[in-house]
Amino acid sequence: AQSVTQLGSHVSVSEGALVLLRCNYSSSVPPYLFWYVQYPNQGLQLLLKYTSAATLVKGINGFEAEFKKSETSFHLTKPSAHMSDAAEYFCAVTTGGGNKLTFGTGTQLKVEL
Amino acid sequence: EAGVAQSPRYKIIEKRQSVAFWCNPISGHATLYWYQQILGQGPKLLIQFQNNGVVDDSQLPKDRFSAERLKGVDSTLKIQPAKLEDSAVYLCASNSGPRGETQYFGPGTRLLVL
């Protein structure tokens, strides 16, 4: 079975500060990992994904994530937060041929002036 | 390229009533997914179609939920009868199917059951 744990349901940072959103996964086979962002009353938008190529993945809007197999982690970072980054972020994992996504419970990011 | 379309965007019904949601995937996408997102939780897969066949419906409450994808394009998800705990956002997503390929999500239908 596959699962994802997101530590911290709410994270607050100051504008210009580092953003770090944590994600740990559990999978019995090599996983594919995703970060999605959800703005209010909208669907999910892909930020970035890891599919067994480079372990450091760069995404849209200045976000990046590093796959660390030894730590079973895929944390999302951004060097400098912007007010427009305020949203809910979901980490997800898929394994196997069915491509089913298993999501974490989400982290609400608040950016303060 | 047009994205995944869903309608209606919002629906309010009384418990024990029925409701249906519609999804039109991105053109050419063979795989279509329906997810349920309860407030404060991540989306949970209800059903996955490959063309017009069901790949995974293990988490679909089949006593009240049904879904179809006629002709392998549009899909409808129905709830009959609705319960209070069905209040959620229902998200539709699509892709071409290969493992690891990005799923593209629609805006969702927000359902409130009173």
Residues 6+ apart with CB under 8 A from B56: A98, A100, B45, B47, B48
> Which helix (H) or strand (E) is A38 found in, with range?
strand A32-38
pLDDT in tens, B74-114: 999 999 999 999 999 999 999 987 777 889 999 999 999 99
Judged by CB atoms closer than 8 Å, whether chains meet at B106 and A43 is answered as yes
Quick check: A96 pLDDT over 70? no
Confidence of residue A68 (pLDDT cuts 50, 70, 90): very high
In 3D, which of A80, A57, B107, A79 has the Cα closest to residue A91?
Answer: A57
Chain A from 32 to 51: CB within 8 A of any B CB: 32, 34, 36, 41-46, 49, 51
Quick check: B64 pLDDT over 80? yes
A-B CB pairs within 8 A amount to 67
Average pLDDT over residues B54-68: 95
d(CA B112, CA B97): 31
CA terminus-to-terminus distance, chain A: 41
Give the whole-number percent of chain B exceeding pLDDT 70: 99
The two structure tokens encoding residue A84: 């427009």
